[in-house]
């Protein structure tokens, strides 16, 4: 008689098997329920406000100044508030800011990214070419950054220098960026040029990099719509931007809408630009140049400007000709420049 017992290892159907199937089904259902609870719990954890603005600045490499400005002007985030009124950010906020930072370093403007949903930001970042590791590097401390930038300028490694400056624009508030990066970089490049260690091409490369940085910072920290307007340039015959670029950056620091027009502008063109833009201040830098020509150019500009526009000049050549510059306010140093911006802003408020 053939053996009808099931093969070794085969399952035996019976009451015990049914009970095991029911238990397995219940276990799976319980696991699914726990999984759903875990997902919901994780989402709640991600959305829970926990980090103060200083911690978020350190975690994302974005300055607290930029975080406040993006919230106020663009609605990029809507953080909760602690009992004392301080901002509290969630894990989801931090993740969003990290993506925004990487996109900014790839050339996007904060105004374009501020209200984009997180999943769309991730998709946009995934489409960008180039290695992500570079964008995730923190900005170097200012002194080390200046050394690296000078080295990059010397080797004309302009893409590398531009990436370093892009990180610095996000990591440092405008005042620190101006005082600890822009001014020292220009001073060091100029010093090396005078000593013959760098050439004109290196100086022009530094100017080009800082013009790009100025445009980036201007987009990131837009002033109010009714902010006072200042024009910054060098007069006809002055090609060096060593003194003009810091003027433009400090104007941003002081909350002005600054139009940087570059080097070598004729007085008639500068005066027309002031009328067109409704400027309150025209700031010019004269580093080199013949004293007689400097006096002639600045006097012509003072005559051509509208009567309610103040002309301010700085730089060694302007200072040496100060006594002959009737109608021109000649200043020296960042502190005095800050006083000029504050006084002009107060005068405009009184007039309006």
Residues 260 and 330 in one domain: yes
SS3 of residue 351 by DSSP: helix
CA gap 349, 352 in Å, rounded = 5
Separation in Å, CA 115 to CA 63, 166, 169: 19, 21, 21
How far does CA 300 lie from the centroid of its chain?
Answer: 36
For the chain, 352 residues long, give each residue's pLDDT as a single digit of tens.
444 444 444 444 444 444 444 444 544 555 555 444 454 555 566 678 889 999 999 888 899 999 998 988 888 888 888 888 889 998 888 888 988 988 888 878 888 898 888 888 888 888 875 544 444 466 789 999 999 999 999 999 999 999 899 889 988 999 999 999 999 999 999 999 999 999 999 999 999 999 999 998 998 888 888 899 999 999 998 999 999 999 999 999 999 999 999 999 999 999 999 999 999 999 999 998 777 888 999 999 999 999 999 999 999 999 988 888 988 999 988 889 999 999 988 887 887 6
341 and 275 inside one domain:
yes
> Domain check: are 321 and 255 in the same one?
yes
Examine residue 174 and state whether it is found in any structural domain, yes or no.
yes
Last residue of a domain, one of 105, 126, 147: 126
Q: Note the pTM of the prediction, 2 decimals.
A: 0.73
Q: Supply the CATH number for residue 194's domain.
A: 1.10.1240.10
Question: Of the candidates 96, 126, 156, which is a domain's last residue?
Answer: 126
């Amino acid at each position: 008689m053939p053996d009808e017992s099931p093969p070794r290892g085969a399952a035996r159907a019976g009451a015990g098997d049914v009970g095991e199937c029911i238990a397995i089904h219940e276990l799976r259902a319980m696991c699914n329920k726990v999984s759903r609870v875990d997902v919901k719990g994780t989402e709640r954890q991600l959305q829970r406000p926990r980090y103060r603005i200083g911690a978020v600045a350190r975690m994302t490499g974005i300055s607290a100044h930029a975080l406040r400005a993006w919230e106020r002007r663009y609605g990029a985030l809507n953080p909760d508030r602690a009992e004392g009124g301080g901002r509290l950010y969630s894990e989801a906020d931090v993740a969003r800011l990290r993506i925004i930072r990487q996109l900014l370093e790839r050339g996007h403007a904060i105004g374009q990214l501020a209200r984009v949903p997180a999943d769309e930001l991730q998709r946009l970042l995934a489409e960008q070419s180039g290695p992500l590791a570079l964008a995730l590097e923190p900005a170097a401390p200012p002194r080390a950054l200046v050394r690296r930038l000078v080295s990059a300028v010397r080797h004309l490694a302009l893409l590398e220098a531009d990436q370093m400056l892009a990180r610095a624009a996000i990591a440092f508030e405008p005042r620190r960026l101006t005082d600890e990066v822009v001014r020292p970089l220009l001073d060091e490049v100029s010093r090396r040029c005078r000593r013959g260690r760098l050439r004109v091409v290196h100086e022009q490369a530094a100017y080009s990099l800082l013009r790009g940085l100025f445009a980036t910072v201007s987009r990131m920290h837009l002033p109010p719509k009714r902010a006072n307007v200042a024009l910054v340039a060098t007069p006809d015959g002055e090609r060096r931007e060593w003194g003009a670029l810091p003027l433009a950056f400090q104007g941003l620091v002081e909350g002005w809408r600054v139009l940087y027009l570059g080097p070598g502008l004729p007085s008639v063109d500068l005066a027309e630009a002031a009328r067109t833009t409704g400027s309150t201040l025209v700031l010019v830098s004269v580093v080199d140049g013949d004293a007689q020509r400097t006096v002639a150019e600045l006097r012509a500009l003072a005559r051509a400007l509208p009567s309610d526009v103040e002309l301010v000049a700085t730089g060694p050549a302007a200072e040496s000709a100060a006594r002959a510059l009737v109608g021109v306010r000649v200043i020296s140093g960042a502190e005095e420049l800050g006083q000029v911006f504050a006084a002009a802003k107060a005068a405009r408020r009184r007039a309006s």
